[in-house]
Amino acid sequence: MERDTSVRLFGDPAKTIGARAAGRTVLRARTVVAGAALKPLHDAVVVIDDGLVSAVEPAGPEHAVDVDLGDATLVPGLIDAHVHLASDSGPRFGGVPDESRLLLLAISNAQRFLRAGVTTVRDLGSPFAVGSGLRDGIDTGLVIGPRVLAANRVITITGGHGHHMGLECDDIGELRRAVRQLAKDGSDWVKVMASGGFVHARRSEGDAPFFPLFDLTEMRMIVEEAHRFGMRVAAHCQNRDAIAVAFEGGVDTIEHCTFAAKPQAVLDEALVRAIAERGTFVVPTTNNYWLTVGVPWAPKDVALANLRRLYDLGVRLVAGTDAGIPTTTPDLYAEGLRVFAEIGMPLTEVLAAATTLAAEAVGISDVTGSITPGLSADLVALDGDPLTDVDAYNRPRAVVVRGVLVPLGPGWQRAPGRGAGQ
């Protein structure tokens, strides 16, 4: 007999504490991938108290199970370390310049992520302060959504990549002011465009992907000032020199890391080895492009070979889709994980790239990233076993964020406790 847990949704203050579910919920599943080691436990329960995991253990008669997930595999809530929530994935990356509409779009995208099993996103660029506004609305329980880490506006040069959602800076003084503005706006992260990029309507020099936009002195100042204000720094890098400036400047994560060049992308192995040795996280923004139409900076086989080389040399690769760019919608999150599987990354490491390692990369492994007592109850039940079948990520059966069960629509009605999905 299952208790009705569907009332534990947002909008009922008696059942939530801010964004967290109140009271106890016990979930049971055939397999629970438990702890920081991502070890499968068979026929196990996850006990949730006030939105936090309080126990993960073999199921026994003492457990009053609220939701039996049948033959599903319960894994940590997934993390997308690189998104743009205030963008509509339409052909004109950036959306409409109106704050209230952008916020609605961001809420919608955030909830689409949640339904795809993604319980944490790092928003690496939105106009205004949409990212931190949404984060606060979710954290206080105004709207349901994944945990959001926000960069808000990006730092770029005048007319440079992302300027439609950016603070345009052309000297040290402007850069310092921009970092302080981002702190004032409530940013968790500073996103700096260390190079131009590929997704944009216009092609000024500052927009082109083949040159760095800032020098080492400027990058060091950005990082130092951001760290002083308690923010971390993510650098968008589409070429070798930009990667070198970002890495030597001490950024916390390197985004894209593509080594784009004319006529062809060329990996700098010495630089990659240095990145691996220091343990700097790289978010290569694997997504639905990679295995279908291909990426804009290299033929498919070259892009995959370069990514494989980063992996082989020991770079810590993290899942992030760049959702918000044309055609990359939140629903396609799992396509990025498929790319990792395609280069031969073992499936336990694929799961780590989307959970434990991603949480570490974005700086919240003391909050989420694994099913561990004391951490937030952020979970996704997958139909199938993601440790043997990467397609399982496309089949979320139930999603829990901060202990709150997320309604998934008709699929949610069908699945719990009925061993559906055979």
Binding region for Zn ion (CB under 5 A): 322
Q: Which DSSP symbol is given to 260? A: -
How far is it between the farthest Cα atoms of the chain? 67
Closer by beta carbon to Zn ion, 112 or else 122:
122
Q: How far is CA 192 from the centre of its chain?
A: 17
Residue 406 CB contacts under 8 Å (≥ 6 apart), including other chains: 114, 115, 144, 398, 399, 400
**In the complex, what is the shortest distance from the CB of residue 153 to Zn ion, in angstroms, rounded to a whole number?**
13
Tokens 């968790």 belong to residue: 188
Sign of the Cα torsion 109, 115, 120, 121 reads negative
197 in Cβ contact with 216 (< 8 Å): no
Closer by beta carbon to Zn ion, 88 or else 322:
322
**In the complex, what is the shortest distance from the CB of residue 222 to Zn ion, in angstroms, rounded to a whole number?**
17
Closer by beta carbon to Zn ion, 112 or else 395:
112
Residue 419 CB contacts under 8 Å (≥ 6 apart), including other chains: 70, 71
Closer by beta carbon to Zn ion, 234 or else 415:
234
322 in Cβ contact with 82 (< 8 Å): yes
**In the complex, what is the shortest distance from the CB of residue 278 to Zn ion, in angstroms, rounded to a whole number?**
23
**In the complex, what is the shortest distance from the CB of residue 363 to Zn ion, in angstroms, rounded to a whole number?**
18
**In the complex, what is the shortest distance from the CB of residue 289 to Zn ion, in angstroms, rounded to a whole number?**
13
**In the complex, what is the shortest distance from the CB of residue 197 to Zn ion, in angstroms, rounded to a whole number?**
8
Q: Which DSSP symbol is given to 322? A: -
| Strand ranges for 202-357 from DSSP E | 232-237, 253-256, 281-283, 316-317
**Pair of tokens at residue 28:** 């049971």
**In the complex, what is the shortest distance from the CB of residue 342 to Zn ion, in angstroms, rounded to a whole number?**
21
Alpha-carbon torsion angle 374, 380, 381, 382, nearest 10: -140
Closer by beta carbon to Zn ion, 87 or else 376:
87
354 in Cβ contact with 79 (< 8 Å): yes
**In the complex, what is the shortest distance from the CB of residue 82 to Zn ion, in angstroms, rounded to a whole number?**
6
Mind giving me the DSSP string for 44-98? Answer: EEEEEETTEEEEEEE--TT---SEE-TT-EEEEPEEEEEE-TT--SSSSTT--S-
Question: Nearest 5 degrees, angle CA 383-CA 386-CA 391?
Answer: 70
Nearest to 67 by CA among 83, 46, 89: 46
Closer by beta carbon to Zn ion, 8 or else 191:
191
Closest residue to Zn ion, judged by C-beta, is 322
**In the complex, what is the shortest distance from the CB of residue 213 to Zn ion, in angstroms, rounded to a whole number?**
15
- Give the helix/strand (H/E) hosting 123: strand 118-123
Nearest to 255 by CA among 122, 409, 349: 122
Closer by beta carbon to Zn ion, 125 or else 145:
125
Rounded CA gap, 122 and 388, in Å?
Answer: 27
Closer by beta carbon to Zn ion, 51 or else 95:
95
Question: Nearest 5 degrees, angle CA 97-CA 102-CA 105?
Answer: 140
Closer by beta carbon to Zn ion, 185 or else 322:
322
Closer by beta carbon to Zn ion, 322 or else 360:
322
Rounded CA gap, 255 and 232, in Å?
Answer: 13
Closer by beta carbon to Zn ion, 16 or else 187:
187
- Give the helix/strand (H/E) hosting 272: helix 269-278
Cβ neighbours of 412 (radius 10 Å)? 17
